[in-house]
Chain A
Amino acid sequence: MCEIKVITGTSAAAEAAKLADVDVIAAYPITPQTTCVEKLAEFVSNGELDAEYIKVESEHSAMSACIGSSAAGARTFTATSSQGLALMHEVLFSAAGMRVPIVMMNANRALSSPINIWNDQQDSLAERDSGWIQIYAEDNQEVLDSVIQAFKIAENENVLLPVMVNLDGFILTHTVEPVTLPKQENVLEFIGTYEPKHAYLDPKKPITQGALGDPNYYMETKYAIEMAMKNAEKVIVDVHDEFKEKFKRGYGNGLIECYNLEKAETVIVAMGSICGTIKDVIDAKKKEGKEIGLLKIRCFRPLPIEMIKDALKNAKNIAVLDKSISLGMNKGIVYVDVVSSLKNKKTVNYIVGLGGRDITFEDILEIYTDVETSEDGKTIWLGLKE
């Protein structure tokens, strides 16, 4: 029932959008996302995908067109990265506020300046508070599976929020891996056809979308998004369970993935492709009889904080890896969010890989050793040159 292709992460995202039979794509090319929108253009051009492809003049217009399209009831997809995501910033908040279930692939890349096209996660983490659900993928298979799941999550009536599927720029976007592609009929059976019941622009049933919300109404709209995020936690788990049942693949419980956490006193918390390297280190140390663990955060918004607390209950030394930095705070964004809910735990923050600097097997080994002896609350910029 499946086909295996050796493809890049961006191709995996494009294949997933095709499998989901999206109606509208509005996109602007940006490195390292470009090959995703090129692939989609090819699908539409070849007639492999019946969709309107709007070749917008900027990412701001890409997201604006996606909002118009999704509000008009069409299953809508776009992809971006870094500066492009930043250019969308204003309209990202509009998309969430207007409750349009757009799915977007974001190739994680550093923000200027200096201009840098390589990977870190500052771009999407800076959009943490926009009301978008954020999923981070570890490998190309997870990219494909996450995009498929994202449509089902976003379009759920108890959620109706846009979803951003993040993959590390170049590390995943440009690396080819074998990816199993399910059959489209099975994917569509899983997601269903998008039939908006809440609201869409129909001349037969006119509604006003994006009205002025004065102080009497604004706060409630934000609270409604918070409640939808809360609902999303369960929906993400359910969708993940259903996906696992149907396609025989899974990623923890959909929100977090625990790797060798039970016996481990030293644990790394991380997101994205680096989790693969961490797992290798864990496996190597296990052979030496040492138990160390990984808590992979797959879903950063909503952040399943209770699950994270529970997963870390036995941990004594917690290293939080951040490919981001909140300047003026000297802490990574993941660290700030995770540690704010942990009490009586020793946590150390490692700022790693900004702007695409390599994070090696040896670096991870060093972190595991360092966190055992480092003092609580410390921030270490790993490998910073003098």
Chain B
Amino acid sequence: MAGMQFPRDELFAPGHRGCAGCGAAIVARLALKAAGKNTIAANATGCLEVMTTPYPETAWRVPWIHVGFENAAAVASGIEGAVAALKRKRQKYGSEKVNVIAFGGDGGTADIGFQALSGAMERGHDMVYIMYDNEAYMNTGAQRSGSTPFMASTTTSPAGSHIRGENRPKKDMPMIMAAHGIPYIATASISYPEDFMNKVKKACEIDGPAFIQIMQPCTTGWGYPAENTIEIGRLAVETGLWPLFEIENGEFKLNYRPLKRKSIDEYLKMQKRYRHLTPADISKIQEAIDLKCQEYGL
């Protein structure tokens, strides 16, 4: 990752209602820094929306809209259409490119918002969709989503004496997006800000739809002290659990290769959602990661 100058402007204002150590706030802040002022944001219902816009306050210094839980991609489609029409017909929105970015959590993206997302991507709208993934419905108290990982304990997939937390693997959103044939797909992590910002920049510049899934640890839902957010995010990448890659026009490219992949133990042990795991469970998870890393060439 080449070093880059971080813009000093803060388009995501401090003073929002996010928890200390909130990864979603980092996602929004970095994304806007990379995209710049000429951006319109559409936000799905969720943590990010609720914590940033309790009327009459707002943390957004770019035009921002929220309509519902499942429709950020559809709302963004309408915005993109309006900007195109008004530029052409009435010389509005100036000559510069306007970036349309949709933000959705994992529930608003991989579950309830999936249809709207698939439609928007398939139609080829010039937009960037950023899925901030905290791996459950964190806004309402950690209920499982389609993006909850195998064996994580959530309030609707609790670890009990009969079931060991979530019994299904995480939905593979980047590959589903890849099947849509869109020009740009990437994974990112809040612990690798330069990589993420480069990807947002690239996604904005590309003509057509782009999808970025960024892992965003959640202090309350995952159960760890606020100061560990960045460390946990980094461990996910260093263990190979969360590989950083891009798929540009169908070409897969790994962006980061740890010198030696760390074992998953430490990552899991730092979080309450995994505290029920036995050594055998951890081995199972490690095996799954190893298999996946083989696929990715990690």
Contact = CB atoms under 8 A, between A and B. Distances in A.
Are chains A and B native binding partners rather than an unrelated pairing?
yes
Interface of A: 23-24, 26, 50-52, 54-58, 60-62, 64-74, 76, 90-91, 94, 98, 193, 201-214, 217
27 contacts: A23-B89, A24-B78, A26-B77, A50-B85, A50-B89, A51-B85, A52-B85, A56-B119, A57-B122, A58-B119, A60-B70, A66-B78, A67-B65, A68-B65, A68-B75, A72-B83, A90-B68, A91-B68, A201-B40, A203-B38, A203-B40, A206-B60, A207-B63, A208-B60, A209-B65, A214-B54, A214-B55
Contacts of B50: 212
Contacts of A72: 40, 78-79, 82-83, 86
B175 interface: no
Nearest to A97: B67
Interface string B22-53: 00000000000000011110100000011001
Nearest to B59: A208
A217 B54 CA distance: 10
Given A201-B63, A207-B63, A54 B54 contact: no
Contacts of B239: none
Given A56-B119, A64-B71, A70-B78, 20 more contacts: A23-B89, A26-B77, A50-B85, A52-B81, A60-B71, A64-B68, A64-B74, A67-B78, A68-B74, A72-B83, A72-B86, A74-B85, A91-B68, A94-B67, A206-B60, A206-B63, A207-B64, A208-B65, A211-B58, A212-B54
A72 B116 CA distance: 19
A72 B67 CA distance: 13
A52 B76 CA distance: 14
Nearest to B72: A64
Contacts of A74: 81-82, 85-86
B66 interface: yes
A204 B92 CA distance: 11
Interface of B: 37-40, 42, 49-50, 53-56, 58, 60-68, 70-71, 73-79, 81-86, 88-90, 92-94, 98, 115-116, 118-120, 122-123
A208 B81 contact: no
B34 to A, nearest CB: 15
- Residue of B50, B54, B85, B116 contacting most chain A CB atoms (<10 Å): B85
Contacts of A94: 67-68
Contact of B118 (A57, A62, A207, A209): A57
Contacts of B122: 57
Contacts of A207: 63-64
Nearest to A209: B65
A210 B53 CA distance: 8
Contact of A73 (B38, B55, B86, B123): B86
B67 A212 contact: no
Contact of B116 (A60, A67, A202): A60
Nearest to B96: A203
Given A68-B77, A72-B78, A210-B65, A61 B71 contact: yes
Smallest CB-CB A-B distances: 5 pairs: A68-B78, A57-B119, A65-B78, A72-B82, A74-B82
Nearest to B38: A203
Contact of A203 (B56, B88, B98): B98
A55 B55 CA distance: 33
A214 B55 CA distance: 7
A371 B155 CA distance: 60
Given A26-B81, A201-B40, A208 B74 contact: no
B55 to A, nearest CB: 4
A26 B54 contact: no
B27 to A, nearest CB: 18
A24 B55 contact: no
Q: Which of B54, B77, B88, B120 has the most CB of A within 10 A?
A: B77
A70 B115 CA distance: 22
Contacts of A67: 65, 67, 75, 78
A69 B85 CA distance: 10
Given A51-B85, A67-B67, A209-B64, A201 B79 contact: yes
A143 B50 CA distance: 41
B85 A23 contact: yes
B181 to A, nearest CB: 16
Nearest to A28: B119
A191 B278 CA distance: 70
B54 A68 contact: no
Contact of B88 (A50, A58, A68, A201): A50
B70 A71 contact: no
Contacts of A203: 37-40, 62-63, 93, 98
